[in-house]
Amino acid sequence: MWDYSDKVKEHFFQPRNAGVLADANGVGDVGSISCGDALRLMLKVEPDTDIILDAHFQTFGCGSAIASSSALTEMIKGKTLDEALKVSNQDIADYLDGLPPEKMHCSVMGREALQAAVANYRGEVWSDDHEEGALICKCFAIDAVLIEDTIRANELCSVEDVTNYTKAGGGCSSCHEGIEEILAKVMAERGESFKPGTPAKEEAKPVGMTNLQRIRKIEAVLETVRPQLKRDGGDIELVDVDGKTIYVNMTGACAGCQMEALTLQGIQQKLMEELKEFIKIVPTKAGALSRATCHP
C-alpha cells in the first residue's frame, strides 16, 4: 500500500470541485490513458481581470491523481491566470504534504492540465514537451527517459557520471543495475561498450567552465541569497571549493540557527541548478554538522 499522507487521503475521499463545470471557458485535457492517469481541468475565467472564478476537474486515475486534481482546483481559485501558472508540480505535492516518488507524475499532470486549460482559454495551442519513462531511481524519482537523454547529450559512460548529472543512483544504489543497462544501450548506439569501473568523466566539471568561472558563479548564487540572510541578521561566506564539495561559513544569526540545515539545503539546490551538476554544500564551522544530526 502506498504511504499516502492524510491530506492526500482526505482529498481523495472528499474531492473538492469534482464534476463538470457548465460554463467553463478554459478546458485542458491531459494525461495518458495507457498509463492510467488522465485529467480534464475546467476553468471559469473572468475576462476583464483574468481571475479564475471557479475550477472543476474530472479524473480517470488513482488516489493521488484524484487528490492532486482536487488540490490544484483549490489552489488556483481566486488567482489570476499568471499567478496560477506559477503553481509548480512541487507546490501541488507540498499542498498535499508530499506524494510518494512513484506518484509525483500525478502532480506533474495537474500542472500540465493547468497550462493546457490556460492555453485553451487564451486561444493558444499547448504542446507537451515532457516524456516519461519507467521509474528507475526511487530515491530521487528519476525515470529512464531522463537518464537516457542525459547520457546521450553528455556522452556519459559510468554510473557515477549518471549520478552526478541526474542524481539517479545517488541514494540507496539498488538501481545501479538498471542504470548500467541504460548506459550499455546508449553507449552501444555511439559504438562504445560499457565497462563497469570506468572512472567518471573528469571531476564532473560542467562543460566549458574553468575553476575561476565556476567559483564566480558560486559567488553569484550566494550573492542572490545574501539579502534574505542579512534580513534575518546573518550571512554566508564561501570558504573553499573542492571538486563537488563546496565549503561555506554561516555567520551572524545564521550560525547555529535551528533552520541552518534547511537553509543550506535550499542554497545547495539553487547551486545545483545554476552549476548544472551535483554538488554538496558543507558548513565548516565546527558543530554545524553535529547540530544538524542532533535534530533528527
Partner 1 sequence: MEGIYFDNNATTRVDPAVVEAMLPYFTEQFGNPSSMHSFGNKVGLAIKKARMQVQELLGAEHDSEIIFTSCGTESDSTALLSALKAQPERKEIITTTVEHPAILTLCAYLEKEGYKVHYLKVDGKGRLDLDEYKKLLSDQTAVVSVMWANNETGTFFPVVEMAELANAAGAMFHTDAVQAVGKVPLNLKDTKIDMLSVSGHKLHAPKGIGVLYLKRGTRFRPLLRGGHQERGRRAGTENTTSIVGLGKAAEMALEAMAFENTEVARLRDKLEAAILAKVPRSFVTGNPDNRLPNTSNIAFEFIEGEAILLLLNKFGIAASSGSACTSGSLEPSHVMRAMGIPYTAAHGTVRFSLSRYSTEAEVDRVIAVVPEIIAQLRKLSPYWEGDGPAAEPEKAFAPTYA
- The footprint of partner 1 (CB under 8 A) covers 1, 9, 12-13, 15, 18-19, 29-40, 57-66, 100, 102-103, 108-109, 112-113, 116, 126-128, 130, 132-135
**293: part of which helix (H) or strand (E)?**
helix 288-294
Give the whole-angstrom CA distance, residue 217 versus residue 211. 10
Contact 253, 264 (CB under 8 A): no
175 is a catalytic site residue: no
Nearer to partner 1, 109 or 267 (CB): 109
Distance CA 225, CA 266 (A): 10
**Residue 5 CB, nearest approach to partner 1 (Å):** 13
Q: For the CB of residue 144, give the shortest distance to partner 1 in the complex, in Å.
A: 10
Catalytic residue among 62, 106, 254, 294: 106
Question: Quick one: 229 exposed, middle or buried, by C-beta within 10 A (0-12, 13-18, 19+)?
Answer: buried
Distance CA 55, CA 76 (A): 8
Cβ neighbours of 236 (radius 10 Å): 23
Q: Which of 231, 295, 240, 229 is nearest to 264 (CA)?
A: 229
C-alpha cell at 115: 497550462
Amino acid occupying residue 102: E
Nearer to partner 1, 31 or 234 (CB): 31
Residue 128 CB, nearest distance to partner 1 (Å)?
5
Residues paired with residue 27 on neighbouring β-strands, in sequence order: 42
- DSSP code for 173: -
The DSSP output letter for 100 is -
Q: Is 35 tagged catalytic?
A: yes
CA-to-CA distance for 3 and 293, rounded, in angstroms? 25
C-beta closer to partner 1: residue 4 or 279: 4
Write down the least CB distance from residue 45 to partner 1, Å: 20
Q: Which is nearer to partner 1, 38 or 264 (CB)?
A: 38
The minimum distance between CB 60 and partner 1, in angstroms, equals 5
Give residues with Cβ within 8 angstroms of 223, minimum separation 6.
none
The smaller minimum CB distance to partner 1, of residues 127 and 210, is found at 127
Residues carrying an active site annotation:
35, 106
